[in-house]
Structure 1
Amino acid sequence: MRRFQQLIAIVSMIIFSFSSYGLEKLRIMTEDYPPFNYLDKDKQLKGYAVELLTEVIKKINAPQDIAAIKVAPWARGYSQAQKPGLKNMLFATTRTEEREILFKWVGPIAQTKIVVFTSADNPITINSAEDLRKYKFAAIRGDIGAILLGSNKVPTANIHQLNKFSLLTRMVEKKRVDMFAYEQSGAIDLMKKNNIDTSKFKVAYVLKKGELYYAFNLSVDEKTINAYQQGLEDVKKDSVFIKTITDKYLK
């Protein structure tokens, strides 16, 4: 029986090796977007989506080095990930109807909630998308927050797009805008990271509840996409691992 089990294990390894052979090497990009992906105080890449991806890469034996992942401003990474013919992957990316045809998708990674924050003492009440159009906002250039404001018909002139999160809160504090748009848990983590008092802000409106994905350039072959998707699904079956990273980053 023991020899039979060993034989099965060897055969499984051989089959897996053949199935993962020939996967494309990717240029992987991310941004500072805690708790999903971010650089810690020692400039080490951390986060829920990072640890999940690391396990997927191990699972499918992909030709990738986590240490080589490039951290860049969102607008730059988002643009690079879409360039024709480049074997790029960007994470963590909110999957939306507007973005659907721009990438090949692997996921979901986690649930997400895109909201607008205002100052805690601001009496503004937002009850509908129509109410949003009365106000001025700050958002990260090219980020889902800016996209959702636009899709809710907020005038372009009322959306100030910036490259750094700290500028969003500063714009609200200085009353240059009424609110800023960002992913809720990510905003709270970034405020703490930048020593910004979270009690000075409150959520005024939920723009969208969605899911985060790994977004692959359209030129990446289907074998690679399918391998990453299957690898992700297999990793998710490890309830102990998922609980560990959930407790570590999302609670």
Structure 2
Amino acid sequence: MFKRLLLALGGTLVVLTAAARAEVDPDYSVVLLTENFPPYNMAINGKNFAQEDNIDGIAVDIVREMFKRAGVKYSLTLRFPWDRIYKLALEKPGYGVFVTARLPEREQLFKWVGPIGPDDWVMLAKGDSPISLNNLDEAKQYKAGAYKGDAIAEHLLEKGLQPLTALRDQENAKKLMAGQIDLWATGDPAGRYLAKQEGISGLKTVLRFDSAELYLALNKEMPDEIVAKLQAALDQMRAEGFVDDILNSYL
């Protein structure tokens, strides 16, 4: 009995020691995934697949600098659709996805680094639209478009709305101008940036209904030491004004 106990304790010690080595392994590399979500992350060529230097945006610039300062290796890939890369980060050790809203229902699903930037949630309408809203309940009488799988779309469903979802958020800008939807539930500044890229301007905000902070979400098995290093690097960047400088350079 005593011998079995010693063997069990010895096995536990080996596991703990291996885990500790993994946390400080200088060769540990994080697989980072992102999507086209201008102006935070985007493929330079505008396509739905890009890697490494072919990706830019506010969050990309911040994350690159953060990993550089933390001394953590990484690879970076932009893919489509969002549901797929979110699921990969959720299920695969060593993976992370950005940017995503840190919501209460997601809190225990990931380890978080951030905030990287703000994301106000708004209802946009055409500039000449007579629609005026005081709350989301009043929006139920209109056709609202949203981005499939996005936190905003999920929030609207929870509030009893039935948004018409699109696989690319910029499609909602076109639908709005074509009269296929009355309202576009999107992020600010992301929505206005996307509309501008489609040659659409003059949209007005008829409701600002929520606000979220955008984060890097890391798989739950990510070593705590790496998470701490990344957070410390980001905190230092924000204190130095680096984060604000990046934000201002895009907007």
Q: Same fold (TM over 0.5)?
A: yes
Rate the CA distance shift 1:248–1:20 in 2: closer, same or farther, 3 A: farther
Deviation of 1:113 (Å): 0.6
What is the CA–CA distance in structure 2 between the aligned matches of 1:98 and 1:175, rounded to whole Å?
A: 34
What is the CA–CA distance in structure 2 between the aligned matches of 1:21 and 1:238, rounded to whole Å?
A: 29
Contact in 1 for aligned 2:96/2:216 (Cα 8 Å): yes
> Counterpart of 1:57?
67
- Residue 122 of structure 1, aligned match among 123, 129, 154: 129
Rate the CA distance shift 1:243–1:111 in 2: closer, same or farther, 3 A: closer
What is the CA–CA distance in structure 2 between the aligned matches of 1:119 and 1:232, rounded to whole Å?
A: 37
- Residue 190 of structure 1, aligned match among 162, 174, 194: 194
Q: List gaps (5 residues or longer) in structure 2.
A: 1-22
Contact in 2 for aligned 1:35/1:249 (Cα 8 Å): yes
Contact in 2 for aligned 1:172/1:179 (Cα 8 Å): yes
Deviation of 1:190 (Å): 1.2
What is the CA–CA distance in structure 1 between the aligned matches of 2:94 and 2:249, rounded to whole Å?
A: 31
What is the CA–CA distance in structure 1 between the aligned matches of 2:114 and 2:153, rounded to whole Å?
A: 23
What is the CA–CA distance in structure 1 between the aligned matches of 2:142 and 2:86, rounded to whole Å?
A: 27
What is the CA–CA distance in structure 2 between the aligned matches of 1:82 and 1:170, rounded to whole Å?
A: 32
> Across the two proteins, how many residue pairs are aligned to each other?
223
Contact in 1 for aligned 2:112/2:218 (Cα 8 Å): yes
Rate the CA distance shift 1:24–1:135 in 2: closer, same or farther, 3 A: farther
> Counterpart of 1:173?
177
After TM superposition, list the pairs within 5 Å mapping 1:91-240 onto structure 2.
Answer: 91-154=98-161, 158-195=162-199, 197-199=200-202, 201-239=203-241
- Residue 58 of structure 2, aligned match among 48, 69, 85: 48
Contact in 1 for aligned 2:66/2:233 (Cα 8 Å): yes
What is the CA–CA distance in structure 2 between the aligned matches of 1:169 and 1:209, rounded to whole Å?
A: 20
1:8-63 superposed Cα distances (whole Å, 9 cap, x missing partner): xxxxxxxxxxx964474222111111221112348731112111111111111112
Contact in 2 for aligned 1:24/1:224 (Cα 8 Å): no
Rate the CA distance shift 1:50–1:118 in 2: closer, same or farther, 3 A: same
What is the CA–CA distance in structure 1 between the aligned matches of 2:131 and 2:244, rounded to whole Å?
A: 38
User: Counterpart of 1:99 in 2: which secondary structure?
Assistant: helix
User: Counterpart of 1:125 in 2: which secondary structure?
Assistant: coil
Equivalent pairs: percent with the same residue? 26
> Counterpart of 2:245?
244
What is the CA–CA distance in structure 2 between the aligned matches of 1:98 and 1:121, rounded to whole Å?
A: 37
Deviation of 1:163 (Å): 0.6
Aligned-residue Cα RMSD (Å) equals 2.1
